[in-house]
Copies of this chain bind each other. A is one copy, B any other.
Amino acid sequence: MHSEVVASRSADQRDSRESRNGTPQLDAVSLAIIEQLQEDGRRPYAAIGKAVGLSEAAVRQRVQKLLDQGVMQIVAVTDPLTVGFRRQAMVGINVEGDVESIADALTDMSEVEYVVMTAGSFDILAEIVCEDDDHLLDVINKRIRSLPGVRSTESFVYLKLKKQTYMWGTR
């Protein structure tokens, strides 16, 4: 799933420097391009180039590279509630044994929208998006708690989503 970084990377690709975890290092210009696309994901390359001081072709290449590397993706985001998913919850999970393998198992579930390994009284936090209460109950009780290595879970059902931003760097 994260293989795209190393995938078709024969000789033409050039990440000058990578930090040791494999994530490419971004310069100020790429940052500025990302900011432009965070404001409007369909903004034309020429307009972005004017804003960041690059030619249209250069912007096009950088955007393509950022997408190929998986640094960013350009997508439509919605409020799940308006699209018909009425129940959401954050689930805190405690694990005995290999945390990462549990996290991988959660990642494979389509109802799980967000998985992060944390320090603190939970090992993993996972966000779940479901259509109704039955569906949510099924995912938590049947699918998650039954994973071998899951010691305990605690659920926080969403009552109201107050804020949801995608504008890192724009501040």
Contacts and interface: CB of A to CB of B under 8 A. Distances in A.
Contacts of A75: 37-41, 74-75, 77, 166
B156 A119 contact: yes
A18 to B, nearest CB: 11
Given A23-B82, A82-B23, A156-B122, A165 B72 contact: no
Contact of A23 (B34, B81, B119, B163): B81
Interface stretch (A8-16, A49-57, A104-112, A142-150): A104-112
Given A85-B168, A116-B158, 19 more contacts: A31-B84, A37-B76, A38-B76, A38-B78, A41-B74, A73-B78, A73-B166, A74-B75, A76-B166, A78-B168, A90-B118, A107-B162, A114-B164, A117-B158, A118-B156, A119-B156, A120-B157, A125-B156, A129-B168
Interface of A: 23-24, 26, 31, 34, 37-42, 71-85, 89-90, 92, 103-104, 106-107, 110, 112-122, 125, 129, 154-166, 168-169, 171
